[in-house]
């Protein structure tokens, strides 16, 4: 791999004086540096990548054996080496596939659970399964991380399709979250889904107990208004949830890749089994594209290569995800977990130090809101932040089509502004036209210069639907996978979350005054003292 990284760095150095705007003057630039899959368009022509850079990146992907490793994943090899697990979330969205793990065909059980979810969702949506006070009006999903972000993100994204009970998502152990969520809900018509792969996560189990107490105060049989989603049948039974309301899955589904199966139950309740099927079909469609399209036309591979170019080669360590779609409000947070929990690692597969930077810092907000908040830095700050725009051709509000066009105009304007910039001569001309002269003209003009030449990509879709959302999520999942393969790390474990969890467990009795603080560092002692001392009257 070394020589491929070196070749990329050497080539990047030759592009130091090349401007993206100049690259875009080539007539074929936009066509050659964009790719389509079905109705989806990925434009990466507003980056500094040229033909040679792209060819070198494709060589890098080939040297990393991306295609063989992709097949190993789909085949069910135990590519999550630190946990000894297969990685088969793709099986959840391709229910007709034949998938074996340890020689056993796992699909009959996946299909059976899916059929139970469909029947449960149908019966609840049609009022056949009721709460003590009548048909369910509300569903509270209690989970965190991968057991929360996926369904919470998708529920908001697919609001136009939501015709079932209202869904609410509680994740934070901060009592404020469950308090504010349950306030105003009727326990007699609320279904609580405890969603936890392990059924041990302290935040989720604490919130589940709080919800059970809330329910018990008004409902004769609170357990009858609970359902659970977990890999641990023993623990869900110990919590008192009837097996008929427990939807299991296997350890070969990673938490942040789990919204396609039972963890998506709240979404299925909201949009119905048919809508959920469309979501799965979108994911399966992207899987097929990822498996069969040539690397140079393969959207997940291209997204990954652009990411590698910006992060590892250009040295831009963050990545802004900027959906021009208010309903994708939670997508940046979802992608943050997907990318940062998967590829935020400093050790490669074999335990040696990673030779390249780990995955990028991912962050973002929907446009146009972000424009009035942090875009200042993106346009004129000293750091370069590659921006990833997402925009749909069509909204869901025909009466407000003019607002959608304004949204699209803003999205396109931002990528154009980042690329084009505004020179000192242009800024001087503008300020001179306003009557400024001399030193004041010079000073004011300099503040209005935009360096430009700032890279962005745009993912354009026809409309945000269950199918296209499924495509988008699977696209990003595979992008993260390809980046991980190229970096040589295991994208499917998350040991970096463990130490903080262990220390929190040890700190709780100290905060409660049941254990000594001796042995803690001075800063922690100071903070414990402050946080446990009553304010002076």
Q: Show which residues are catalytic.
A: 341, 372, 501
Give the binding range for ligand F6P (CB under 6 A) out of 138-146, 269-277, 421-429, 462-470: 138-146
Q: Does the footprint of ligand F6P cover residue 428 (CB under 6 A)?
A: no
User: Closest distance between ligand F6P and the C-beta of residue 336, in Å?
Assistant: 12
Spatial distance between the Cα atoms of 115 and 473, rounded to a whole number of angstroms: 23
Give the binding range for ligand F6P (CB under 6 A) out of 109-117, 140-148, 181-189, 428-436: 140-148
CA 274 → CA 11, 122, 290, 350, distances in Å?
A: 49, 10, 24, 43
Spatial distance between the Cα atoms of 42 and 302, rounded to a whole number of angstroms: 9
In the shown chain, the binding pattern of residues 204 to 243 toward ligand F6P, with x for contact by CB under 6 A and - for none, equals x---------------------------------------
Q: Does the footprint of ligand F6P cover residue 197 (CB under 6 A)?
A: yes
How many C-alpha atoms does 374 have within 13 Å on its Cβ side?
A: 13
Residue 241 token pair: 């949830």
* Interface with ligand F6P (CB under 6 A), residue from 256, 289, 404, 479: 256
Q: Determine how β-strand 190-195 pairs with β-strand 318-323.
A: unpaired
Spatial distance between the Cα atoms of 459 and 86, rounded to a whole number of angstroms: 30
For ligand F6P, which is the closer residue by CB, 76 or 145? 145
For ligand F6P, which is the closer residue by CB, 331 or 392? 331
Cβ 164 vs Cβ 271: under 8 Å: yes
For ligand F6P, which is the closer residue by CB, 60 or 229? 229
* Interface with ligand F6P (CB under 6 A), residue from 113, 141, 147, 458: 147
Spatial distance between the Cα atoms of 149 and 336, rounded to a whole number of angstroms: 10
Q: How many CB atoms lie within 10 A of CB 486?
A: 27
For ligand F6P, which is the closer residue by CB, 147 or 368? 147
User: Closest distance between ligand F6P and the C-beta of residue 206, in Å?
Assistant: 12
Q: Does the footprint of ligand F6P cover residue 497 (CB under 6 A)?
A: yes
Angle between helices 51-63 and 466-487 (to 10 degrees): 70
Residue 370's SS3 state is helix
User: Closest distance between ligand F6P and the C-beta of residue 247, in Å?
Assistant: 13
For ligand F6P, which is the closer residue by CB, 37 or 177? 177
Residue 447's SS3 state is helix
Q: Does the footprint of ligand F6P cover residue 145 (CB under 6 A)?
A: yes
For ligand F6P, which is the closer residue by CB, 89 or 422? 89
Q: Does the footprint of ligand F6P cover residue 255 (CB under 6 A)?
A: yes
* Interface with ligand F6P (CB under 6 A), residue from 196, 414, 458, 468: 196
User: Closest distance between ligand F6P and the C-beta of residue 256, in Å?
Assistant: 5
Cβ 418 vs Cβ 452: under 8 Å: yes
Give counts: helices (H), strands (E), the chain: 22, 15
Residue with tokens 């639907």: 465
Rounded to 5 degrees, what are φ and ψ at 248? -95, 160
Spatial distance between the Cα atoms of 156 and 452, rounded to a whole number of angstroms: 34
- Number of residues engaging ligand F6P in binding (CB under 6 A): 14
Q: Which of residues 48-77 bind ligand F6P (CB under 6 A)?
A: none
* Interface with ligand F6P (CB under 6 A), residue from 198, 318, 394, 423: 198
User: Closest distance between ligand F6P and the C-beta of residue 523, in Å?
Assistant: 24
Query: Interface with ligand F6P by CB under 6 A: which residues?
Result: 144-147, 196-198, 201, 204, 255-256, 341, 494, 497
């Amino acid at each position: 791999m070394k020589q491929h990284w070196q070749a990329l760095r050497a080539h990047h150095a030759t592009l130091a004086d090349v401007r993206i705007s100049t690259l875009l003057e080539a007539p074929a630039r936009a066509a050659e540096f964009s790719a389509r899959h079905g109705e989806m368009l990925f434009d990466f022509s507003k980056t500094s990548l040229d033909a040679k850079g792209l060819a070198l990146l494709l060589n890098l992907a080939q040297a990393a054996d991306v295609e063989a490793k992709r097949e190993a994943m789909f085949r069910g090899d135990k590519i999550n080496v630190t946990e000894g697990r297969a990685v088969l979330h793709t099986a959840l969205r391709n229910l007709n596939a034949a998938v074996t793990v340890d020689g056993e065909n796992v699909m009959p059980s996946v299909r059976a659970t899916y059929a139970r979810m469909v029947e449960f969702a149908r019966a609840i949506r049609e009022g056949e399964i009721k709460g003590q006070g009548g048909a369910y009006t509300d569903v509270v999903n209690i989970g965190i991380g991968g057991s929360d972000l996926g369904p919470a993100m998708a529920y908001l994204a697919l609001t136009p399709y939501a015709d079932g009970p209202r869904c609410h998502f509680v994740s934070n152990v901060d009592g404020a979250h469950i308090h504010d969520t349950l306030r105003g809900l009727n326990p007699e018509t609320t279904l609580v889904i405890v969603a936890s792969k392990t059924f041990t996560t302290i935040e989720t189990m604490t919130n589940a107990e709080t919800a059970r107490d809330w329910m018990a105060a008004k409902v004769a049989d609170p357990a009858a208004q609970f359902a659970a989603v977990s890999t641990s049948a023993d623990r869900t039974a110990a919590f008192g949830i009837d097996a008929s309301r427990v939807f299991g899955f296997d350890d070969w589904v990673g938490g942040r890749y789990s919204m396609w199966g039972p963890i998506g139950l709240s979404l299925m309740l909201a949009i119905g089994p048919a809508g959920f099927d469309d979501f799965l079909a979108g994911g399966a469609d992207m899987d097929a594209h990822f498996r069969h399209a040539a690397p140079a036309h393969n959207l997940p591979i291209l997204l990954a290569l652009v990411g590698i170019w910006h992060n590892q080669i250009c040295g831009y360590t963050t990545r802004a995800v900027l959906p021009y779609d208010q309903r994708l409000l939670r997508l940046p947070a979802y992608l943050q977990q997907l990318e940062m929990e998967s590829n935020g690692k400093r050790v490669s597969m074999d335990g040696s130090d990673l030779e390249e930077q780990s995955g990028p810092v991912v962050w973002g907000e929907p446009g146009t809101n972000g424009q009035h908040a942090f875009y200042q830095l993106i346009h004129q700050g000293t750091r370069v932040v590659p921006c990833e725009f997402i925009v749909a051709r069509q909204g869901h509000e025909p009466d407000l089509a003019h607002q959608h066009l304004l949204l699209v105009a803003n999205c396109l304007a931002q990528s154009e502004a980042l690329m084009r910039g505004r020179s000192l001569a242009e800024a001087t001309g503008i300020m001179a036209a306003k009557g400024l002269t001399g030193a004041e003209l010079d000073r004011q003009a300099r503040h209005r210069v935009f360096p430009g030449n700032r890279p962005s990509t745009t993912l354009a879709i026809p409309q945000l639907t269950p199918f296209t959302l499924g495509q988008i999520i699977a696209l990003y999942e595979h992008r993260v996978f390809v980046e991980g393969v190229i970096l040589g790390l295991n994208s499917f474990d998350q040991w970096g979350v463990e130490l903080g969890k262990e220390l929190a467990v040890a700190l709780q009795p100290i905060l409660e005054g049941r254990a000594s603080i001796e042995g803690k560092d001075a800063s922690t002692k100071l903070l414990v003292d402050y946080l446990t001392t009553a304010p002076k009257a």
